[in-house]
Amino acid sequence: MSTEAALTPSSYIQHHLTNMTVSLGEGSFWVLHIDTLVMSLILGVVSLGFIWLVVRKATPGVPSKTQAFVELLIEFIDDQVKNTFHGERHSFVAPAALTIFVWVLLLNSMDFLPIDIMAWIYENVFGLHNWRGVPTADVNTTFALALSIWVLTIYFAIKVKGFGGWIHELFCSPFGANPILWPFNLLLNLIEYISKPLSHSLRLFGNMYAGEIIFMLLGMWAATGVAGTIFGAVLGVGWAIFHILIVVLHAFIFMILAVVYLSMAHESH
């Protein structure tokens, strides 16, 4: 329901998949997706700020309903981390898991906002053309998160085992310390190190991107008439309900995988 004159299916989808960009310099790399960045920053600040406000006044006595809610969330995360990560988790891993879960959940949840209505609001209320509302449907976000976790796994691996220990593990596990096996060990470890952030980020990106596309395809039925509009709306509701599961599930999977990778970095083989 874009206001553009020549409205074809491909232009409709193109319109919804174009990021608002700011060019920082020469070349295609020095570009900033301002919509992704602003949405994720707003959601991060709001969600973590809310938790911070609650936590600042946390009492050990009878908790308020809001505090009980935040405690429930934190204890849920803490339980998950405790089951996966067997070390001192309170100094980094558990709070990081909380950040990931809350943030990614909210970023994913932007998918629930009706895509065309939001596009209209962004365009007519805020004056923003080509504003994408779901930051996790932007591959930059998921890669940023996954690569940050990846860097942290290498950091913790070196911190726990020492640089020599880490190098030793690269060559000597999982097959054994025999020099003949060194190339195979190294090859396997390199593949693992490359595949981890790729699968980690692309899993989340793919699901959210596909969810967005399906909403768009259902939205396009509105172009076929009243029956198509109603049918598309009904299916859209169905997909949105199913999408609740996907959104929460993938926020959870993303967090658990991050914890698993961090705990693998802490364990020596």
Partner 1 sequence: MNINFTLVSQAIAFSIFIWFTTKFVWPYLLRAIEERQQKIADGLAAGERGKKELELASQRSSEVLKEAKQRAGEIIIQAEKRASDIVEEAKKNARVEGEKIIAGAKAEVEHEIFSARESLRQQVAGLAVQGASKILHREVNAKVHADLLASIETELK
For residue 7, give the 3-state DSSP assignment. Answer: coil
The answer to whether 238 and 230 have CB atoms below 8 angstroms apart is no
Tell me whether residue 185 or residue 201 sits nearer to partner 1 (CB atom).
Answer: 201
Smallest gap, in angstroms, from Cβ of residue 170 to partner 1? 24
Joined tokens for residue 20: 């608002």
Give the Cα separation of 141 and 172 in Å (integer).
34
How large is the C-alpha radius of gyration of the chain?
Answer: 22
Tell me whether residue 109 or residue 148 sits nearer to partner 1 (CB atom).
Answer: 148
For residue 87, give the 3-state DSSP assignment. Answer: coil
Active-site option among 109, 173, 189, 203: 203
Tell me whether residue 12 or residue 205 sits nearer to partner 1 (CB atom).
Answer: 205
Which helix (H) or strand (E) segment holds residue 31: the answer is strand 31-33
199 is catalytic: yes
Q: How many helices (H) and strands (E) does the chain have?
A: 8, 2
Smallest gap, in angstroms, from Cβ of residue 74 to partner 1? 5
Residue 28's φ and ψ, nearest 5 degrees, are -80, -15
Joined tokens for residue 72: 């429930």
Tell me whether residue 199 or residue 224 sits nearer to partner 1 (CB atom).
Answer: 199
Active-site option among 11, 23, 64, 199: 199
189 is catalytic: no
Smallest gap, in angstroms, from Cβ of residue 183 to partner 1? 30
Tell me whether residue 111 or residue 138 sits nearer to partner 1 (CB atom).
Answer: 138
Residues near partner 1 (CB under 8 A) are: 24, 28-33, 36-37, 40-41, 44, 48, 51-52, 55-56, 58-61, 63, 67, 70-71, 74-75, 78, 90-92, 94-96, 98-100, 103, 135, 138-141, 143-145, 147-148
Place of tokens 């190098």: 167
132 is catalytic: no
Cis previous bond, 174, omega within 30: yes
Smallest gap, in angstroms, from Cβ of residue 144 to partner 1? 3
The answer to whether 195 and 207 have CB atoms below 8 angstroms apart is no
Smallest gap, in angstroms, from Cβ of residue 99 to partner 1? 4
Q: Would you name the residues annotated as active-site residues? A: 199, 203, 207
